[in-house]
């Protein structure tokens, strides 16, 4: 069905969010831009599950997907509250399990899935029991950090201290060089720095209007909507200075903010 409007509806957003989860597509602005451009501009159709499924073979090469490990982690973490996810992640680090990259994901999946499958509460005691049971009988092993001996720890500490020496020496050399200057040379350097600071201040004052527009541009570009598709839409929203092609960033910021507020009001009304 052809689109009646370029504005994406709340129903389309819900379909899109469910669809990317089911297909392990990373829900990012970059992916949303690829999909929205294809659906709105190339095909000009609505975001229905059927249309998205038809578009996927054409878009697959331009999209980023979660790895199987990442997808499994997301599937498990969605069964938990954010507090429970944090409890398990913190426990993994404190118990000496590997907590970097894929190793952390693997350990999280192993521990959390055991807890959830056994319908156990997520507490320190239950996590300790889970570790014992996993060690004794799980098909998926835990990944542990390598424990350093005292001599290895001392050697590592010496290497880290040695790596800091050049920076400290440079700092001392800089301070020594400044203090070794004759009084009249130190005064000359002070005056030179003051002159440079004054010139910079004049430059800033002369370009105040430009800088003001840049500040509002930064504010407008930093606005974040409640969905990736809405983020794509607000980035296409501009207000121009009358009779010119110059962007009025103050008005653009206001227009984008109004769009976000309107979307939130629509969502609030839909939830009643």
84-115 per-position pLDDT tens digit:
999 999 999 998 999 998 999 999 999 999 99
Torsion angles phi and psi, residue 246, rounded to 5: -80, 140
User: CB atoms < 10 A from the CB of 223, how many?
Assistant: 16
CA distance 190 to 253: 42
What tokens were used for 67? 């790895």
User: CB atoms < 10 A from the CB of 59, how many?
Assistant: 17
Q: Which residue has the higher pLDDT, 186 or 237?
A: 237
CA distance 135 to 138: 6
pTM to 2 decimal places: 0.59
In 3D space, the residue among 236, 269, 268, 272 whose CA is nearest the CA of residue 252 turns out to be: 236
What tokens were used for 209? 């209007």
What tokens were used for 76? 């498990």
What tokens were used for 36? 């929205």
26: confidence class by pLDDT, cuts 50, 70, 90: very high
Please tell me the least confidently modeled range out of 44-58, 82-96, 113-127, 246-260. 246-260
Q: What is the DSSP letter of 245?
A: S
Q: What is the DSSP letter of 207?
A: T
What tokens were used for 23? 């297909």
């Amino acid at each position: 069905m052809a689109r009646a409007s370029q504005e994406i509806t709340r129903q389309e957003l819900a379909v899109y969010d469910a669809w990317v989860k089911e297909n392990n597509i990373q829900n990012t602005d970059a992916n949303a831009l690829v999909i929205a451009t294809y659906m709105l501009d190339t095909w000009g159709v609505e975001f229905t599950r059927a249309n998205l499924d038809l578009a996927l073979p054409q878009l697959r090469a331009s999209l980023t997907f979660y790895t199987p490990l990442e997808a499994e982690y997301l599937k498990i973490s969605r069964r938990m509250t954010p507090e429970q996810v944090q409890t398990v992640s913190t426990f993994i680090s404190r118990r000496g399990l590997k907590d970097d990259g894929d190793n952390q994901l693997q350990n999280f999946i192993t521990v959390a899935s055991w807890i959830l499958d056994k319908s156990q509460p997520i507490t320190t005691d239950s996590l300790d029991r889970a570790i014992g049971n996993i060690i004794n009988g799980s098909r998926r092993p835990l990944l542990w950090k390598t424990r350093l001996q005292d001599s290895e720890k001392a050697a590592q500490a010496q290497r880290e201290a040695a790596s800091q020496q050049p920076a400290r020496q440079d700092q001392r050399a800089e301070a020594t060089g400044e203090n070794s200057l004759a009084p009249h040379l130190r005064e000359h350097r002070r005056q030179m720095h003051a002159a440079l600071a004054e010139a910079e201040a004049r430059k800033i004052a002369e370009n105040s209007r430009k800088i003001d527009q840049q500040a509002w541009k930064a504010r407008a570009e930093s606005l974040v909507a409640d969905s990736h598709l809405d983020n794509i839409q607000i980035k296409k929203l501009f207000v121009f200075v009358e009779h010119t092609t110059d962007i009025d960033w103050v008005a653009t910021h206001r227009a984008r903010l109004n769009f976000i507020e309107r979307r939130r009001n629509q969502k609030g009304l839909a939830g009643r």
